[in-house]
Amino acid sequence: MFRGQQGRGADSKPEREAAIATRTPSAAPESWRHRYQSKLRSLPQALALIRRGDHVFIGAGCGEPQALVRELTEAGSRLADTEVYHLLTLGTAPYTAPRFSETFRLNSFFIGADVRNDVAEGRADYTPVYLSEVPRLFRSGQLSIDTALIQLSPPDAHGYCSFGVAVDITKPAAEAARCRIAQINPSMPRTLGDCFIHVDELDAIVEFEEPLLEWRPPALDETALEVGRQAAKLVGHGACLQIGIGHIPPAILQFLHDRKDLGIHTEMLTADVIELVDAGVITNSRKTLHRDKIVASFCLGGPEMLAFVDNNPQCEFHPSDYTNDPYVIGQNDKMVAVNSALEIDLTGQVCSDSLGYSFYSGIGGQVDFVRGASRSRGGRPVICLSSVAPDGSSTIVPVLSEGAGVVTSRGSVHYIVTEYGIAYLHGKSIRERAMALIQIAHPEHRTELLDHAKERRYVFLDQQTPVSARYPDELERFKGLPDGGQVTIRPLRPTDEPLIRDLFYDASEQSLYQRYMNTKTTLPRSERQGVVNVDYCSTMSLAAFDDAHNKLVALAEWSLNPSTNLAEVALLVRDDWQRRGVGTILLDYMIELAMQRGIRGFTAEILATNRLMLHLFQQCSQPVRTHLSEGCYSVVVEFDPQELQRQVAIAAEWLKKHPVIPCDLPGMTPGDDSR
């Protein structure tokens, strides 16, 4: 029977030295059992090895040795000036109570909810440091550990105990400590990997069985789910994932059930991955490092998580200086690291550990994985956040709050995701960054953010505010061409203005003359803004992209005349992409989208010499009327009434399930974009 025992041992240096002396192993393979028995102590006897002024490390997360922590607090009456180190605690931290102010002083590497007030009120310390570098602090002696309080699985046949669900910085701390006190708990799963310690390396053993602390993720609200849906677009087949802590990053897992052969290399492993493993989505078969293995540093969860990792050869646990080493992370191809933030400024600086002067969480492994994913071939570092804080204020801000710290610098940031879309910042100018972030900010805050950006000369003074509440990513399509090529069709965003410029200046004089029906040599920024800043209802700009070369190859636009409910349409195709079927794909899709918005038809003005465009309209799926006057054809495409009615019904049904696109056109119900 594993249980705590009564009685209190002596606080003496000889006893401590005698305990440490028993670490020397014997050559006899079975002799460890005798030494194990000799190290058994009651809780008071084990904790008596801690001296006044010691630096004490406590295992973290679900691996916190609760019985040892309780006894440490009980022993407080004989201790003084004891510094306590830990990572993230899930239970209570009784040693931070005001009555222990002269006895214990907490120094945390990551601030959990249980000690947040203690840090804020000055009763505890916070050390900001990359998680990958904490073990080095222990091993170098910069942060010396006198005693490590750890929780382990029972020893195996060879005398090795597993650190179980908390390898992270716990194993390095135990290895660096002068005295190691272990709670042996049969409830601790035996995880595999670089996560073992032999009983000969322990100084005192307390057998005490109790349930491990559990961690339950917060419920996912609509905003978190939409952020997760957006972020999931950055995860392709065969990607390797790291999911950071917080209520938003795990939401991405809800939208990956159609992916194939995903892998996991992460610091924190949660039960969310089990469903994807069982579904065959996470196979780790395409990993370029530790193929076929889930690699983690610690795990948080409940009984389901514990059962999954127990003696599971699919899972490998390693200390944080390995799992979080950017060099190691970068060896995983297609590494997608998903982490969270509290706020981000218009230049791309990310704050994720503090609210102004108040420290909220910690640096943790965010920067480790951002840097690692950026080194990965095909890697994508992703930062997720809701567009607004709980009080309704914008999380995308002109400048970070006074006192807020930069965790991920503007030079390291790549993808920022909110419920309103994805902003790609890496290699972008301050102007491009500001516009990309304003576009994914909450619509109620965009005008104010743009005003601040103009005041600081981040953007052009005549820059227009994005007119659409949300970019309609559901309209994106991948289309095959008759010659075997492929293009991506999607609506344009305000940040696509440089692409419009390149398309215009790459076009021949003849193509420009046929498109604009005059000799046009420049496309001013004011006109380019009008092309990309559309509401996706009364105005639409739809583009075709050559993904292989990241080029915009064709553009189709419409502008609605409300008095006739007809939209004027125009197209421009790069010269080297003409006669490949791109124009046909764009026009057909424009017709479909216009019908869904209740538009009655299209009009166009086409030069009589523009045979390709005339042929394009003549071959479209709807009835076409033309009238020639002074070398120019007036074209009217009136949509089939029955097909129009059917498409409007399709759109209305879609909007019932996805009320996100505001539209006041005939046949369309206005969408609720408040989320």
> Does residue 451 sit in helix, strand or coil?
helix
**Residue 451: partners with Cβ closer than 8 Å, 6 or more residues away:** none
> Does residue 561 sit in helix, strand or coil?
strand
- The reported pLDDT for the residue numbered 450 is 97
What does the pLDDT look like over 440-457, one tens digit per residue? 999 999 999 999 999 999
Query: In terms of DSSP bridges, do strands 566-573 and 551-561 run parallel, antiparallel, or are they unpaired?
Result: antiparallel
Domain boundaries, the chain: 13-207, 222-455, 480-657
User: Is the per-residue pLDDT at 68 higher than 70?
Assistant: yes
Specify the pTM: 0.89
User: Is the per-residue pLDDT at 336 higher than 60?
Assistant: yes
Residue 153, both tokens: 């699985």
As a three-state string, the secondary structure of 562-630 is CCCCEEEEEEEECHHHCCCCHHHHHHHHHHHHHHHCCCCEEEEEEECCCHHHHHHHHCCCCCEEEEEEC
Catalytic residue among 64, 201, 267, 557: 267
DSSP 291: T
Q: What's the rounded Cα separation, in Å, for the pair 466 and 217?
A: 35
Task: Say what percent of the chain tops pLDDT 90.
Answer: 82
- The reported pLDDT for the residue numbered 672 is 30
Going by CATH, does the domain composed of 480-657 fall within 3.40.630.30? yes
What does the pLDDT look like over 536-583, one tens digit per residue? 999 999 999 998 888 999 999 999 999 999 999 999 999 999 999 999
What does the pLDDT look like over 202-225, one tens digit per residue? 999 999 999 999 988 888 999 999
User: What is the rounded end-to-end Cα distance, in angstroms, of the chain?
Assistant: 54
Q: CATH assignment of 13-207?
A: 3.40.1080.10
Asked if the domains 13-207 and 222-455 are classified in one and the same CATH topology, the answer is yes
Lowest mean pLDDT among 140-154, 293-307, 371-385, 542-556: 542-556
User: Is the per-residue pLDDT at 520 higher than 60?
Assistant: yes
**Residue 411: partners with Cβ closer than 8 Å, 6 or more residues away:** none
- The reported pLDDT for the residue numbered 458 is 97
Average pLDDT over residues 596-613: 94
267 is catalytic: yes
Domain spanning 222-455, CATH class: alpha beta
Query: Are the C-beta atoms of residues 104 and 55 closer than 8 Å to each other?
Result: no
pLDDT band at 306 (very low <50, low <70, confident <90, very high): very high
